[in-house]
Amino acid sequence: MKHIFQKGTDTSKTLLLLHGTGGTEQDLLPLAEIIDKGANILSVRGNILENGMPRFFKRLAEGIFDEEDLVFRTKELNDFLDEVATKYEFPRDNITAIGYSNGANIAASLLFHYKDSLNAAILHHPMVPRRGIELPDLSDKKVFIAAGTNDPICPAQESEDLKSLLEGAGAKVKIHWEDFGHQLTINEVKSAAEWYNN
């Protein structure tokens, strides 16, 4: 997968950056600076193109996912993490994903399908990636969700459902609310940084 890797000063920790629809691997680099200056950065571009816009998996319509492709792309990303952890020599078991929108959805999907894919996740405006499946044991995982009370793409109930499903699998989840629709705000990034560093 197309990506950027930057070795950190503390090579034990890696931030996995996953952009929103229409974004690139450049988009979330400033967030990594705010969350953890010292960590390795692995920023990946989604392999799907929807009318020229990169994404991490196909959708049938706005908010309606192509489940088969979601499962396939989640495995592809998980395999890619295995491969690059060896290539760049960083610990595979200490990756924190930071995703926005479609990137948050694929990060949530990694958690939904693979027990040890991520150590933690910061999800900006995520949805429930899939319903009706049993989640792996996530009892040692930490998740921060930034959601919008008035997000037209990810309704508030969807954020609450995601929290409950992750908690049901044993994850520790914190939810942070903003009132700016689907926007990724500096306030929610600062709140994520505080959560990550505590």
Binding site residues, ligand MLT, CB under 6 A: 20-21, 59, 62-63, 101-102, 105, 127, 153
Catalytic residue among 69, 116, 161, 182: 182
Say whether 176 is catalytic. no
Say if CB 182 and CB 108 are below 8 A apart.
Answer: no
Torsion angle of the four alpha carbons 14, 111, 63, 54, in this order, in degrees rounded to the nearest 10: 30
40 vs 103 by CB, closer to ligand MLT: 103
Identity of the residue, 61 or 198, whose beta carbon is nearer to ligand MLT in the bound complex:
61
Alpha helical stretches, state H, 3-97: 29-35, 67-87
Which amino acid is it at 69?
D
Catalytic position from the list 36, 43, 117, 151: 151
CB of 61 to ligand MLT, least distance (A): 9
Q: How far is the CB of 45 from ligand MLT (least distance, A)?
A: 14
> Is 43 known to be catalytic?
no
- Burial (0-12, 13-18, 19+ Cβ within 10 Å), 175: middle
The answer to whether the CB of 56 falls within 8 A of the CB of 73 is: yes
From 19, 43, 101, 191, the catalytic residue: 101
101 is annotated as an active-site residue = yes
Catalytic residues: 101, 151, 182
